Amino acid sequence: MEPISSQETAGTGSMLAVPLSPSVHVIPTLRDVELYHVFISYSSTDYQWTHSLISQLESCGLQICYHERDFIPGRTVLENMSDCIQQSQKVLLVLSPEFVRSRWCLLEANMSLFRDCLERKPIVPVLLEPGVSVPLHLCHLTYLDAKDPDFLNKLLKVLCTPNQKLRGSTVAPFQPPSIYNGKVLQPLTAINEEDLIADGINSCDAGTFTDMEIPDQLRLVIEDKEKYRRAVRMINDVSQNKLWPHPPWLRLLLLIIVVVLFLLISMIPVSYTIPLFTQNNKVIPPDLLAFSTSIFACIPIVAFIHCCQLVFDLKKYIVREMQKAMCQANMILSEEKVLMGCQSNSKIYLVYVSLDSCRHEFAVTFSEQNLAEEMFQRALLYFSSGYACCLAKKHFPFPVPSSSRHLEGGVCFCQYVSEQLKREKWI
C-alpha cells in the first residue's frame, strides 16, 4: 500500500466516493450519556483524508466527534479527549506515522486516565499508510486497510454493530504473552540527550536515564517497579564507574604521561640494567634479563593502547560499556518480560518478549538443571542487548530462519544465541 500524498487525497475523494449502503446497516441508538457514535482521533497532517471520511460517515446519519469541532475551548486537551471518549460509542484511530508519534503518544502517556474509558469502548484502528509502527496496545486488534476497495462499507458495518457484539475488540491489558510477544515499546531517551548531541562525535559521556518516573507503558508491563529502577541504575553507573577519568583534558594528560613513561623505558639499554639485577652476587643471564625487561615494558604499552582507545575511540567504548550494563540489567528485567538494548549513548530500545519457552529449550539442551540455568543467564549476559536491538530494528545480522521456535513471525532468543555462536565459531 503506497502512502497517501496530498495529490492522492483528491484521488482519495474518488476512493471515498465509493457508494455506501446505509440502508443495509441500522444506525445505532445513542444511549445514556452518549452524544456520538464514534470519536475519531487523527493527526493534523491527515486532516484532508480524515475530513473526507467524516463527511461520508455523517451523510449516512452517524454522529461523529473530532477535536477541531467538538473540543470545548478553555479546557485541556486531556479533559476534552476523556469526555469525548466517554460520550462516544466507539473510538476510531487513523494510524499514520505522525499519529503514532504525536497523538497516540498523548493517549499512551496518560493511559491511566483513559484506561477505564478505552477498556469499555471498541477500538477501530484504520491503517492509513504501510509500515506504520502499530502501538503495542493495539497490536492484537484487526485493522481496517484504508486502501481496501470496500473499506468504507466495512467501516460502516463495524460502526453500526452494537458494542456488546464487539466486546472482543476492546484494548486488553498486557496479560497474554502470545499477543504482545516480540513487540517494540517506545524507547527511553537520555535526560542529558541535548548535551550528548551537542558534543557530537566528541561526546565523552554515557547517557543518563531517570529511574524516578517509570514510563506509563512500562507500568502496564512491569509488576515489580524496583526491578526497573535497579536496571536503570546499572546503566547510569557506567558514567561513574567505567569512564574515569571523566574530563577530556585529564584523559589527554594521562595519555601524555603514559607515552613519556613508554619512551623512557624503551631508551634504557639492557646492558645498563644488568648490574642492577644480581642474585647472591651472581649476574642474571642477559637473555633472562632481556625477557624480564620486555615483560616490564609491556605494561606501559598496554596502558598506552588502552588510553588511545579511551581518547580516540571513546564513543564506541562508551556504547560497548552501556551494552554490557544492559545485558546485566536484562538478567533482572527478563523476569518481567522486558529486554533493553542500545546502539548509541543517548537512547535505549525496549522490547516486550517472553523468554519462558527459550529458557525451557536451555533446560532440554542441558540435562543438568543448574547447568541449564547458568547457561541461560550467560546467554542473557552476552547476547540480550544485541537481541533487543535486532527486535526493535526488525533486522538480524544473519538470514532469518523460515520458521521460529518460540516467537511467532520473528527470531526467538535461543535461535538468536545459536546463530550468533555459529557466526563467532564458538560451536
% of the chain exceeding 70 in pLDDT: 65
Q: Most confidently modeled of 12-16, 172-176, 226-230?
A: 226-230
Q: Tell me the C-alpha distance between 54 and 159, whole Å.
A: 13
Categorise residue 223: left if φ over 0, alpha if ψ from -120 to 50, beta otherwise: alpha
Q: Tell me the C-alpha distance between 262 and 21, whole Å.
A: 86
CB-based contact 53:159 (threshold 8 Å): no
How many of the other CB atoms lie within 10 Å of CB of 130?
A: 10
Q: Tell me the C-alpha distance between 334 and 57, whole Å.
A: 46
| DSSP letters spanning 74-142 | TS-HHHHHHHHHHTEEEEEEEE-HHHHHTHHHHHHHTHHHHHHHHHHS-EEEEE-STT----GGGTTSP
Structure-block grid coordinates of residue 425: 565459531
Q: Tell me the C-alpha distance between 10 and 194, whole Å.
A: 41
Q: Tell me the C-alpha distance between 59 and 211, whole Å.
A: 51
Q: How confident is the model at residue 323 (pLDDT cuts 50, 70, 90)?
A: very high
Mean pLDDT value across residues 42-65: 92
| Greatest Cα pair distance in the chain | 114
Domain contains 376: no
Check residues 332 and 5 and name the one with the higher pLDDT.
Answer: 332
Residue 61 pLDDT greater than 80, yes or no: yes
Mean pLDDT value across residues 253-276: 60
**Mapping DSSP to helix (H, G, I), strand (E, B) and coil, where does residue 352 land?**
strand
Cα dihedral: 218, 91, 180, 222 (round 10)? 20
Structure-block grid coordinates of residue 340: 533493553
Q: How confident is the model at residue 281 (pLDDT cuts 50, 70, 90)?
A: low
How many of the other CB atoms lie within 10 Å of CB of 55?
A: 12
Long-range contact set of residues 313-316: C-beta below 8 Å, sequence gap at least 24: 314/203, 314/204, 314/251, 315/201, 315/203, 315/345
How many of the other CB atoms lie within 10 Å of CB of 106?
A: 13
By the 10 Å C-beta count (0-12 exposed, 13-18 middle, 19+ buried), 54 is classed as: buried
Domain extent, residue 135, equals 6-172
Continuous segment of H or E residues that includes residue 283? strand 282-283
CB-based contact 336:224 (threshold 8 Å): yes
Residue 379 pLDDT greater than 70, yes or no: yes
Mean pLDDT value across residues 376-393: 94
Q: How confident is the model at residue 376 (pLDDT cuts 50, 70, 90)?
A: very high
Domain contains 221: no
Domain contains 104: yes
Per the structure, how many domains does the chain have?
1
Residue 119 pLDDT greater than 60, yes or no: yes
By the 10 Å C-beta count (0-12 exposed, 13-18 middle, 19+ buried), 261 is classed as: middle
**Mapping DSSP to helix (H, G, I), strand (E, B) and coil, where does residue 181 land?**
coil
Q: What residues contact 121, with CB distance under 8 A and at least 6 apart?
A: 85, 88, 89, 90, 91, 163, 170
Domain contains 397: no
**Mapping DSSP to helix (H, G, I), strand (E, B) and coil, where does residue 203 land?**
coil
pTM of the model: 0.54
Q: Most confidently modeled of 40-54, 187-201, 267-281?
A: 40-54
CATH of residue 18: 3.40.50.10140
Given this model, what pLDDT does residue 4 score?
30
Cis amide prior to 28 (ω within 30 degrees): no
Residue 91, beta-bridge partner list: 39, 123
Domain contains 178: no
Structure-block grid coordinates of residue 264: 623512557
Instruction: Write down the mean pLDDT value for the chain.
Output: 76
Q: How confident is the model at residue 2 (pLDDT cuts 50, 70, 90)?
A: very low
Residue 249 pLDDT greater than 70, yes or no: no
Q: How confident is the model at residue 7 (pLDDT cuts 50, 70, 90)?
A: very low
Domain contains 371: no
CB-based contact 36:88 (threshold 8 Å): yes
Q: Tell me the C-alpha distance between 218 and 232, whole Å.
A: 13
Given this model, what pLDDT does residue 402 score?
78
Q: Per-residue pLDDT tens for 152-205?
A: 998 999 999 888 777 555 444 434 444 567 878 778 888 887 776 665 554 567
Check residues 196 and 403 and name the one with the higher pLDDT.
Answer: 403
Domain contains 165: yes
Domain contains 418: no
Q: Tell me the C-alpha distance between 9 and 46, whole Å.
A: 10
Check residues 85 and 314 and name the one with the higher pLDDT.
Answer: 85
